[in-house]
Amino acid sequence: MNTTLPLAAAQPPAASARPRLAAWRSPALRLASIVLCLIAWHLATRYRWDLGLLTFRNVPSPTDVAEAAWALAQSPQVAQHLGASLARVFSGFGIAAVIGIGLGLLIGRLRWAEDTLLPPLEVLRPIPAVAWIPLAILMFPSSEASMVFITFVGALFPILLNTVHGVEAVDPRLIASARSLGAGRLALFAEVVLPGALPSIVTGLAIGMGTAWFCLVTAEMISGQFGIGYYTWMSYTIQNYADIIVGMLLIGLLGMGSSALVRRAGAALMPWRRGDRP
């Protein structure tokens, strides 16, 4: 008599339930971390914690911020604020992606490009976005172009440097093997260098998207009439503290969401990396 059990029946119940438990664990932990932060924020503002160097006596509570967010959501200007900021950030980021990846591939592959292009770029890289405001006003006749330029500057250098590092990190043995098999320059670039550098490029794009949002308030300080950064800055000037936090949280959420979209798009371009993380 054949006593062999089917594979599904032979697996213990705990083993089959483990993948489902792991699938729920990460979202649950992430949600729990947000809830704990909200509880800590509520307690700090409810009891007016004063820790010496850090005080919460004048910080709005989560309830105050939620009311301010609801008021903004009902405002007819919310669509204009969001639309203006999204257009500025994605325009600056798109230009930075094209230029940053192009220059990064060039610098990473060619010694003369590294020697001539990288030094001036390294000099410009540490300059903060706010320091570019006077020059942006002088260079661009349009305030809208100036604001796009500020977000472009913020996104450019993470994309550029990650592309350079990605190209330089490609295993030389892969390049040598492709050459020995008769690959020309174009095939070598398209089938070896670019796929090898792509993970680092996607990382740079995700970081660049985040820094573009980081520079949004600086960009919209120039002469913006609409935008989340402008809304946050104007709330500060009139000392409307709850609205300041609403603007900050909106920038954070939009930045997180757009960076996640970039990472997902990168994952779709790199199917060979799926399932790398446990």
Within the chain, strands assigned E span: none
Q: In terms of pLDDT, which residue wins out, 28 or 275?
A: 28
Provide the pLDDT confidence category of residue 60 given band limits of 50, 70 and 90.
Answer: very high
According to the model, what pLDDT value does residue 36 have? 94
**At a CB cut-off of 8 Å and minimum separation 6, what does 149 contact?**
92, 132, 136, 139, 140, 219
Whole-number pLDDT of residue 21: 59
Kindly state whether residue 146 falls inside one of the protein's structural domains.
yes
Query: Domain range for residue 262?
Result: 77-270
pLDDT of 9 over the 80 cut:
no
Residue 277 placed within a domain:
no
Contact yes or no for 266/205 (Cβ under 8 A): yes
Q: Is residue 59 part of a domain?
A: no
Q: Is residue 196 part of a domain?
A: yes
Q: What is the pLDDT of residue 246?
A: 93
In the chain, the N- to C-terminal Cα span, in Å, equals: 41
In a domain, 54, yes or no: no
228 domain residue, yes or no: yes
Examine residue 87 and state whether it is found in any structural domain, yes or no: yes
Question: Is 161 or 28 the better-scoring residue by pLDDT?
Answer: 161
Q: pTM of this prediction?
A: 0.82
Count of the separate structural domains present in the chain: 1
What mean pLDDT is reported for the chain? 86
Provide the pLDDT confidence category of residue 11 given band limits of 50, 70 and 90.
low
219 compared with 95, residue with greater pLDDT: 95
Q: What is the CATH number of the domain that holds 186?
A: 1.10.3720.10
212-267: pLDDT as tens digits? 998 888 888 877 688 898 898 888 888 889 999 999 999 999 999 999 999 999 88
Burial classification of residue 176, based on how many CB atoms lie within 10 Å of its CB (0-12 exposed, 13-18 middle, 19 or more buried): exposed
